[in-house]
Amino acid sequence: MPPYDKLMEVLEAFFASYPGGDYTCERRERFRLEFRRGLWRRGLLGLGQFVPDRLIKGQFNRWPIIVRVLARPSPESYTITVRYELHLPSSIRQLGPNLQASVNLHAKVELEDLARYLAECAQLDSPPPVTPL
């Protein structure tokens, strides 16, 4: 999808308009994008961000998440890395296996939607592969 800047615009457009995502672009650099979504509370004296004191069951779009997108262009292809960071309340040390599987499923669906969106915008015959790391 030349030129490179067009790719970054497409990535930003996807997350900014993703249904139920409510993503806000917090940082945009030449090769990186950072989005935030969900419930966040301001820290005392404006220092940092706090997450809510609990995660709302069944409302994954309200969970405090940061998504970091890194695009690495090369003459032949692009590699796009998407990293989801779920910020847990202090009362939750880690997610249980069932809850982690649910989070993985939500991320996988979003990434597959992103691949289809990229294919549509770049007029590709098929979506690019999504490879979990």
Model pTM greater than 0.85?
yes
Residue 61 phi/psi, 5-degree rounding, is -70, -10
- Condensed to tens digits (0 to 9), the pLDDT of residues 40-53 reads 887 766 666 788 88
pLDDT at 37: 92
What's the maximum distance between 2 C-alpha atoms anywhere in the chain?
52
Q: Which residues face 80 on adjacent strands?
A: 71
In this structure, the number of other CB atoms found within 10 A of the CB of residue 3 comes to 9
pLDDT at 3: 67
pLDDT at 35: 96
Question: What whole-number distance in Å separates Cα of residue 77 and Cα of residue 101?
Answer: 31
Instruction: Count Cβ atoms within 10 A of the Cβ of residue 53 and give its class: 0-12 exposed, 13-18 middle, 19 or more buried.
Output: exposed
Positive or negative, the Cα torsion across 16, 34, 111, 102?
negative
pLDDT at 41: 81
Q: What's the token pair of residue 92?
A: 């939750």
pLDDT at 14: 95
From first to last of its 133 residues, what are the pLDDT tens digits of the chain? 456 778 899 999 999 999 877 899 999 998 999 999 998 887 766 666 788 888 888 888 889 999 999 998 877 778 999 999 999 888 888 888 988 898 999 999 999 999 999 999 988 899 999 998 8
pLDDT at 5: 74
